[in-house]
Structure 1
Amino acid sequence: MVQDETHRKLDLCSAGMTWKSESGRVKLNGEQFHIKGANWFGFETESHVLHGLWGATTMERVLNFCQANKINALRVPVSLDLALNSKTVVARGSCQECSAELAWDMLDRLFVMAAARGIVIVLDMHRLDQYNNSDLWYDGKHTQDQFIQGWGDLLTRFGDKANLMGIDLKNEPHGAATWGLGSATDWNAAAVYIVKKIKERVPGYNKLIFVEGVGTDGAIAQYPPSDPAFDKFWGQNLDGVISHPIDFGTPELNSLLVYSPHVYGPSVADQVYFKDATFPANMPSIWDKQVGFVEDATGKALVTGAWGGSYAGQDKLWQDAWADYMIDRCIADNFVWALNPNSGSNGGLLEADWSTPVVTKLQLLAKIQPNPSVFTSAISSSVVCVNYGAPANSKCALKGPGSPADSKPDAKPHDAPK
């Protein structure tokens, strides 16, 4: 789709970077920013560094791959233990290029090298320790105060990085995690409290704040358990935003809020709707109830923080349908899981040699975001220049104040979809 130059300049330069989530869109310096993102994991594991760097593959090589394929954003998982210990050492044999042995130094290196290639980063608090994806943001060994401290420590070190796009507060709350039930395990209330405390610790923080949903049973459902849309993946359940939208307490902080569900297919976990005789034609109506309502209900951007799969058999049918849905519903901003080929049944954008591209998956990403926003110079704290690109679906472009696409209410719930 050729961009309409009557309302959008192709290349704009600005002093600094101001991120906002408004009108159902992510914006950079007032312009709609089209995210073509990928997850690159490893820091949250026993390696304490990005995976893939144990052999001939280098950080430079992977980042060059991202730049060549217009992947403009990386979601980078970390653990709370790593955040609390700036002296964590990279595991022996995990990184051939690590002249510095500290994980935080390698994270700093990633920021620098990504900025040089026009790539922004979202830090994701993926785990509490290096082994398990916990239900909650605390457990028997980690307190909520430590969770806040970990974020504060990370942002004290990395919060001023020009190419820090934002933070994903907690990966995939599920199980015991709830939303709007008046419980100590309510993730919506905890997210508000945590963000306020982070802001006290790091007053200058002004980047995006990604908040995921909870698990299937964690919120008051908009429909009965008999409805096919009832069952969801970890972090996907945003039913609670209808009655309990996130409110950080100030317009400044609320302008940074992004809702970020995780959406997966049959190669990750089975769901009853994958067995429907009409699959995948049945999925759009289900997704409407699971995630499609969020932008209209809240006025905030919806960015899929993780999705993907094997891209074979039934999973290919699912991914093709999800891609079409993202395009049609104007929610194409996404972070695919993952760059890494060692992602279980998911696979990655790279083959097991960490060098050969998986062409079919890259073609699918290019279909979803054919014209992502591209930094036309290195990202710095002074001047940034961006070709803002265009959505695959022309109806998804913001036309300016007063247009239908730019007139969504901010944080105003509507009736639950039927």
Structure 2
Amino acid sequence: MLKKLLSGVTAAACACSMVLMPGSDVVKSVPAAADAPDSYHDDWLHVNENAEVVDMYGNPVWMTGVNWFGYNVGSQVFDGVWSANMHNCLDIIADHGFNLLRVPMSTEIILQWKNHEPDPILKVNPYENPELVKTFDENGTPIEYMYSFDIWNKAVEWCRENGVKIMMDIHCATTNAAGHNYPLWYDDNYSTDDWLEALSWFCEQYKDDDTVIAIDLKNEPHGKPEEGKFAKWDDSTDLNNWKYAAERGAMACLEQNPNLLIMIEGIECYPDFARGADWTTPAVDYAHYGEPSKVFGAWWGGNLRGVKDNPVDIGKYNSQIVYSPHDYGPLVYEQSWFHLEGKKPNYTSYKFDTQSLLDEYWYDAWAYLVEEHRYPLLMGEWGGFVDEVNDPSGANTQWLTLLRDYMKEKRIHHTFWCFNENSSDTGGLMYDNFQKWDDEKYEFVKPSLWQDENGKFISLDHKVKLGKAGNGISLSDYYSGSHEVEPITVTADYGDANCDGKVDIADAVLIRQYLADPKKHALTEAGKANADCADSGKGITEADALAIEMVVVGKIKTTDLPTT
């Protein structure tokens, strides 16, 4: 266990404090409070060499948040503000321990704000939200509402007061309740350049406000090759190449604010190149119906297989990348890995557990990125029904339980779907027209929220405690105590330097390339552990490559690694 101490932010009398870095005996100097950034610039987050998201002092953090949509669907505000007080709703989110708010938006609404175009509609109940009305007449009838962008900035202000950070998500190009069904980041109304313009403008607006700490570049890129419009992932500059677009989108953001975390989702379909598939291979091949598909399918935005061979590369900003899949249960779609029998929702049987989900879907689609310590993950959407009425068989609840516990174990960041009650296939944390809180669902989600050993919810803000209910603490509160932090442990699969699941000559070649130029031919943390297979513990040397070659020619077995 690793003890970590942070005092530079809160102890003005201390000229310098020392922080023990993860997995190391090296201490890092922390600036004195007088030299620290101000409260609008001290909470930016970054990714370290262990694929952990850390604060400016190198302390690991855990983003555990919730989604609240509305800006993407045409309400011009969060849904529910038509009946509930927006400020109170944000207080509720903070008081229940969510330290990050993912806010779906559209390219259209951001460009509307940039160009100061009037609101086409504004779904605000003025009597529940008088602070969002500019003027009333003498009879108390609203005459003029605040502009939707000004209302949004009130939300940013109230999140800041509550110690809640914000991640803006481009959910769709054109504002539409069904906009997420369109597969790409551009459509007939808004181009890729429009999307880049929206990202750039939004990030410039909040470059001096660390309430907005992250950008989700595009919600759920998807589509199948046979559908005509689909997202792909390769090293091309094709218009529909999401990897290439994500690099451009990330740069549009980071050129305005280099401190933002950039969330990059996956796609839907990825070809099985080993079986001769390519980007023209149909996901559903009716000419060979009944045979195993040559395309790996996934939830929309959930397929990150392409990262293994073609990771997003934004140069000096790579330390800001977090990959962000989505995952759902059988009540959203009856995927093969759930092994369901019977009709929805009254399944007569289902057969899946954590290991089967990893084997059949999770690992190759996205979990390998954390299992092999390549990149951090943020599960941008996960959620669903857990009550007996909507989930009588318990299949959905079992999936949610397994995913929740796996994310806790691996410290996967996440934003639960959702605060809204009006998500038809999942439900939300509110009900009765946004007037009541769903305690049953919340008690299910609560164990996955970042808490200290006393059950206090931990903010991502160094100075502001999370919420106003007295059950939250600030990040400095947490690290100024003697809190034990689980270090990342790497289980070695000796010889597999490139982490592709096998030991072959490619591993020996990679080790020699790494020894010649470790920056150009970098190894992941898991790869380093695997490569140290001769005299393990003495570091990576030529002897490791020779040991692998002995395996390749059959002189020793992989089970003989590490050699001594």
* TM-score bracket relative to the smaller structure: 0.7 to 0.9
The structure-2 alpha-carbon separation of the partners of 1:230 and 1:67, relative to structure 1 and needing over 3 Å to count, comes to same
Residue 39 of structure 1: aligned partner = 67
Residue 67 of structure 1: aligned partner = 94
Residue 119 of structure 2: aligned partner = 89
Q: How does 1:400-411 map to 2 (within 5 A)?
A: 404=489
The structure-2 alpha-carbon separation of the partners of 1:220 and 1:241, relative to structure 1 and needing over 3 Å to count, comes to farther
Q: Is the 8 A contact 1:220 1:240 kept in 2?
A: no
Residue 211 of structure 1: aligned partner = 264
Measured after TM superposition, the shift of residue 387 of structure 1 is: 3.9
Q: Is the 8 A contact 2:62 2:411 kept in 1?
A: no
1:105 corresponds to 2:150: yes
Residue 157 of structure 1: aligned partner = 205
The structure-2 alpha-carbon separation of the partners of 1:365 and 1:269, relative to structure 1 and needing over 3 Å to count, comes to same
Tell me which of 342, 346, 352 is aligned to 2:432.
Answer: 352
Q: Note the alpha carbon deviations across 1:42-70, whole angstroms, 9 max, x for none.
A: 01111111111111x21221111122111
**Partner of 2:433: helix, strand, or coil?**
coil
**Partner of 2:220: helix, strand, or coil?**
coil
Residue 25 of structure 1: aligned partner = 52
1:278 corresponds to 2:351: yes
User: C-alpha separation between the residues in 2 aligned to 1:417 and 1:246?
Assistant: 24
* Aligned CA-pair RMSD: 3.0
Residue 293 of structure 1: aligned partner = 368
Tell me which of 223, 230, 240 is aligned to 2:306.
Answer: 240
Q: Is the 8 A contact 2:271 2:296 kept in 1?
A: no
Q: Is the 8 A contact 1:26 1:301 kept in 2?
A: yes
Q: Note the alpha carbon deviations across 1:375-417, whole angstroms, 9 max, x for none.
A: 47438xxxx853448xxxx8x823xxxx74699xxxx963159
Q: Note the alpha carbon deviations across 1:77-123, whole angstroms, 9 max, x for none.
A: 11100111113427244343222432211111111000000000000
Deviates more, 1:183-192 or 1:75-84: 183-192
User: C-alpha separation between the residues in 1 aligned to 2:107 and 2:241?
Assistant: 20
How many residues align? The count is: 391
1:123 corresponds to 2:187: no
The structure-2 alpha-carbon separation of the partners of 1:417 and 1:351, relative to structure 1 and needing over 3 Å to count, comes to farther
The structure-2 alpha-carbon separation of the partners of 1:356 and 1:289, relative to structure 1 and needing over 3 Å to count, comes to same
Residue 378 of structure 1: aligned partner = 464
**Partner of 2:352: helix, strand, or coil?**
coil
1:262 corresponds to 2:326: yes
User: C-alpha separation between the residues in 2 aligned to 1:377 and 1:197?
Assistant: 30
Amino acid at match of 2:47: S
The alignment's TM-score, normalised by the length of structure 1, stands at 0.84
The structure-2 alpha-carbon separation of the partners of 1:388 and 1:168, relative to structure 1 and needing over 3 Å to count, comes to farther
The structure-2 alpha-carbon separation of the partners of 1:348 and 1:125, relative to structure 1 and needing over 3 Å to count, comes to same
Measured after TM superposition, the shift of residue 287 of structure 1 is: 1.7
Q: Is the 8 A contact 1:273 1:283 kept in 2?
A: yes
Amino acid at match of 2:368: F
Measured after TM superposition, the shift of residue 227 of structure 1 is: 8.7
Residue 4 of structure 2: aligned partner = 7
The structure-2 alpha-carbon separation of the partners of 1:299 and 1:255, relative to structure 1 and needing over 3 Å to count, comes to same
User: C-alpha separation between the residues in 2 aligned to 1:316 and 1:243?
Assistant: 34
1:324 corresponds to 2:408: no
What residue ranges of structure 2 are gaps of 5+ in the alignment?
A: 11-35, 134-144, 224-229, 278-282, 284-291, 341-349, 452-456, 466-473, 504-564
User: C-alpha separation between the residues in 1 aligned to 2:294 and 2:6?
Assistant: 43
Amino acid at match of 1:397: E
Tell me the percent identity. 25
Question: Whose relative contact order is higher, 1 or 2, with alpha carbons under 8 Å and at least 6 apart?
Answer: 1
Residue 190 of structure 2: aligned partner = 142
Q: Note the alpha carbon deviations across 1:140-164, whole angstroms, 9 max, x for none.
A: 2211111111111212223322211
Residue 385 of structure 2: aligned partner = 310
Measured after TM superposition, the shift of residue 137 of structure 1 is: 1.4
**Partner of 1:308: helix, strand, or coil?**
coil
Measured after TM superposition, the shift of residue 18 of structure 1 is: 2.9
User: C-alpha separation between the residues in 2 aligned to 1:150 and 1:231?
Assistant: 30
The structure-2 alpha-carbon separation of the partners of 1:27 and 1:376, relative to structure 1 and needing over 3 Å to count, comes to closer
Residue 421 of structure 2: aligned partner = 341
1:191 corresponds to 2:217: no
User: C-alpha separation between the residues in 2 aligned to 1:137 and 1:234?
Assistant: 13
Amino acid at match of 1:20: H
The alignment's TM-score, normalised by the length of structure 2, stands at 0.64
The structure-2 alpha-carbon separation of the partners of 1:299 and 1:5, relative to structure 1 and needing over 3 Å to count, comes to closer
Measured after TM superposition, the shift of residue 318 of structure 1 is: 1.1
What residue ranges of structure 1 are gaps of 5+ in the alignment?
A: none
Q: Note the alpha carbon deviations across 1:296-345, whole angstroms, 9 max, x for none.
A: 556321110111111233211110111122223x1431100100011112
Amino acid at match of 1:343: S
